[in-house]
A = this chain, B = another copy of it.
Amino acid sequence: MSRNSSKLSGVLHVLLHMAEQQAPVTSEKLARIMQTNAVVIRRVMAGLRDAGYVRSEKGHGGGWSMACDPATVTLLDIYRAIGSPPLFAIGNRSDNPDCAVERAVNEALDGPLRQAEALLIDSYATVTLASLSAGFHRQLPPDYASHHRTD
């Protein structure tokens, strides 16, 4: 794992796996795929459920399933659904500095940062879950499931 974790990357991974399944998938199975804990899955999926992108059902035969059309949901939608976590590791030391020097530094750094943020947001807005799935099936046509036993 790289040092800068990304809920986004993990959530997308989970979503694509779910989209491949007809029946609901349990947190346990998803956790096995993601090599993490079922509670962690539930935590991170809560945002998607509240946003209406997935559905969760309790009891026998329960689990997680898609509640949206992957062709109409973008990476930006997912990013927002998980709470729009910070994109950048760098930023200003202080948001409202008394020091004029610091204000000048902040201004110089902020412009590019804002541009880069807009670029990321715009890019993610143009990629749908369906196009991600397509890209995935292109590179591995036949038996996608060979890597993860989910049962």
Per-residue CB proximity of A98-116 to B under 8 Å, as 1/0? 1111111111110111011
Chain A 1-35 interface residues, beta-carbon cutoff 8 Å to B: 1-6, 8-10, 12-13, 16-17, 33
- By DSSP majority rule, is chain A's interface helix, strand, loop, or mixed? helix
Measured in the bound complex, the distance between the Cα atoms of B18 and A11 in whole Å is 46
Q: Is A61 an interface residue (CB 8 A)?
A: no
Chain A 104-151 interface residues, beta-carbon cutoff 8 Å to B: 104-109, 111-113, 115-117, 119-120, 123-124, 127, 132-133, 135-136, 139-140, 144, 147-148
Name 18 A/B residue pairs within 8 A (Cβ), A-sorted: A4-B88, A5-B93, A6-B93, A10-B93, A12-B105, A12-B109, A13-B93, A16-B104, A17-B101, A33-B99, A87-B88, A89-B89, A98-B147, A99-B147, A101-B144, A104-B132, A104-B139, A108-B127
Q: Give the interface of A toward B (CB within 8 A).
A: 1-6, 8-10, 12-13, 16-17, 33, 75, 85-95, 98-109, 111-113, 115-117, 119-120, 123-124, 127, 132-133, 135-136, 139-140, 144, 147-148
